[in-house]
A and B are shown apart, each in its own frame.
Chain A
Amino acid sequence: MAGIEAKDVSKRFGDVQALKGVSLAVAPGEFVSLVGPSGCGKTTLMRSIAGLETPDSGTIAIGGGDVGGLRAADRDVAMVFQSYALYPHLTARQNMAVPLVMRRLDAWRRLPLIGDLLPGTRAAKAEIAAEVARTAELLGIEKLLERKPGQLSGGQRQRVALGRAIVRHPRVFLLDEPLSNLDAGLRVQTRKEIVELHRRVGASTVYVTHDQTEAMTMSDRVAVMMAGEILQIGSPRDVYLDPRDLRVAAFVGSPKINAFAAEAGADGLVRVAGTPTGVAVAIQGALTFAARPEDIAPNAHDGIPARVEHVEFLGEAVLLHARVAGATEAVVARMDARRAGTFERGQSIRLRPDPARALLFDAAGKRIVARAVPLGLKEIALG
């Protein structure tokens, strides 16, 4: 078991600063997701760990040892690519055997005819064949082994790529958006399988994805990346409930968190569109008041005035899209389908965010401490 430690890693491609001094520590056996929009540097960070990119500055250590000077081949990492990157001219069996063949047989033993004559080649090859068979069984692809990648479906290719990665028990397992080419149903199923596989194999795993659902459901910890920086790293629970940055709050969670332009008065009370929210902060001036869809409820009497735009019935829940006058984005409220009343398009309502769960961010987007204060009757009447 080996952990990964990246310190102050920077990488520039021409005019683009892909990584701005990123630090990331993955504990031995841990499953960490790098999540962020495309172009945020998550793949560059992973490729730097793999040894496919050389960082301009910073250090990367695997299992305590600096791997900066090592080639990808010598870092003992395995990687699954978004495109799977299987060798098109080799069968699934040969594809999975490649990492073992390259590591266990020297150049002479790999020669087509002469290699077999050298002592030990046959035994080594038999062992490789047995390990490939065992891995194939683990992944349920025994029947596909004689096919070439061109004859496999997307899901099958993905499994072969996984097999090629785990067959040699690497110290570190890197997955670059391995599910993005699968259809929705297969994706959910494979998600679970990868987690189980990780438990069984136990290697430290870095998982790159732009899909926050994947990151949240699979990982021990999630690192949210944006514009070449890790904004926050923490358990899926922390990242969702306790985001440190407005961009993290906005990226994690679906539907997106509702952000309102707000104002804190001299008394520290926060108002949205002039409506008191029941939240107080220690600063004054413009800030952002944010509430998750499930923390906002429509209310007949008090709250932020809005107009119903659209209602989505999801089965267990109802999503109410409403617009606050002057806002560019609609507010989404999530309600229990059985308790939600009926709404009509164009209807005037009031939205009341739960003050105890509201998240507040300063003008720079950094989270600030907020406390719920009971609203006085006078303020409700004014609202």
Chain B
Amino acid sequence: MYGRRSWFADLPRLAILGICAAVVLLPYAWMLAVSVKPRSEVFSAALSLLPEVWYAAENYGRVFAEVPIGRYLVNGVVVCGLILAFQLAFALPAGYALAKLRFRGRETLFAFVMLGLLVPAHVPAIPLYIAFANAGLLNTYTALAAPFAISVFAIFLFRQFFRALPDDLIAAARIDGMGEASIVLRVALPNAWPAATAFAIFSVVAHWSDLFWPLIVVTKGDLYTPALGVLYFRAEEAGDDYGALMAAATLVTVPLVAAFLLAQRRFIEGITMTGLKG
């Protein structure tokens, strides 16, 4: 029955979805368009996606010539990788302990985690800056990654996910000879792939495009993250070069989009393979 419905019946739905998709994609399309246009066309009255004069080589050429964009991308990978690795290393065991171990004060600890969720990242920014400055750690990877190493959101997320694991499964693992660390790695994590992937997407996207914190603790160009790199083309004395700015933005976005598409596949796989019950 379902398969026989004509495409006509689906039309309103498709139209709404199409419009939503267009609204979301439009800025990206515009970014791509501007990145291949000469400056004169960016502000022309005619609204056209395709440029009259193909200016891609100049815009992208300028990006590669004037900023070490490759270096920034590497910085981004290093910082995001460090952050994610530490977040998982702390949140997986913490989430497991809060979900499945019985100990005094567990609920209080969890209440603190929930409280931690309420603190915006900007609140501790100045104390943290002073601390890093006093420790002589400004302009280091440590300064970029350390404040995010413990994610209360991740602890909360994994705690919720691990709660759904049957207690018998944990008991079976203990009887089979696993210690608590092995249980986290060999039983809890493999069954929490959807949560881990979802969290990885959140984390990487947030820190890849984070401008606020890198701007505070990094002043040397060779530690710039991708978002800071884009900034180079803004607010120059000669005025903004939107073509090069958008070219840089495109270069910075592409790895993220690619990573997301890869992870999305894994994400869907993860959801379909969780046959936890039984």
Contacts and interface: CB of A to CB of B under 8 A. Distances in A.
Interface string A61-94: 0000000000111000111011111111100000
Interface of B: 166, 168-169, 171-179, 182, 186-187, 190-191, 273-276, 278
Given A79-B172, A89-B191, 12 more contacts: A51-B174, A52-B175, A79-B171, A81-B171, A85-B169, A85-B172, A86-B172, A88-B274, A88-B276, A98-B178, A99-B176, A102-B182
A157 interface: yes
Nearest to B177: A102
A164 interface: yes
- Top 4 nearest A-B pairs by Cβ distance? A150-B275, A102-B177, A85-B168, A85-B172
Given A87-B187, A150-B275, A102 B168 contact: no
A102 B182 CA distance: 9
A42 to B, nearest CB: 16
Nearest to A102: B177
A192 interface: no
B187 A103 contact: no
Contacts, number: 73
Interface of A: 47, 50-52, 71-73, 77-79, 81-89, 98-99, 102-103, 148-150, 154, 157, 164
Contacts of B176: 73, 98-99, 102, 164
Contacts of B172: 79, 81, 85-87, 164
A331 B172 CA distance: 45
Nearest to B181: A107
Contacts of B177: 73, 98-99, 102-103
A103 B275 CA distance: 27
B145 to A, nearest CB: 26
Contacts of A83: 166, 168, 278
A82 B169 CA distance: 11
- If over half of B's interface residues share one DSSP class (helix, strand or loop), that class is named, otherwise mixed; here it is helix
Nearest to A157: B278
A205 to B, nearest CB: 15
A51 B176 CA distance: 12
Contacts of B187: 87
Contact of B174 (A73, A82, A84, A149): A73
Contacts of A87: 169, 172-173, 186-187, 190
A98 B183 CA distance: 12
Contact of A88 (B182, B186, B191): B191
Contacts of B278: 83-84, 149-150, 154, 157
30 contacts: A47-B171, A50-B171, A72-B174, A72-B175, A73-B174, A73-B179, A78-B175, A79-B175, A81-B168, A81-B171, A81-B172, A83-B166, A85-B166, A85-B169, A85-B172, A86-B172, A87-B187, A88-B169, A88-B191, A88-B276, A89-B190, A99-B176, A102-B176, A103-B177, A149-B275, A149-B278, A150-B273, A154-B278, A157-B278, A164-B176
Nearest to B168: A85
Contacts of B174: 51-52, 71-73
A306 B64 CA distance: 102
Contacts of A50: 171, 175
Contacts of B173: 87, 98
Given A83-B166, A87-B187, A88-B191, A52 B171 contact: yes
Contacts of B275: 88, 148-150
Contact of B178 (A85, A89, A102, A150): A102
A122 B182 CA distance: 21
A77 B174 CA distance: 11
Nearest to B174: A72
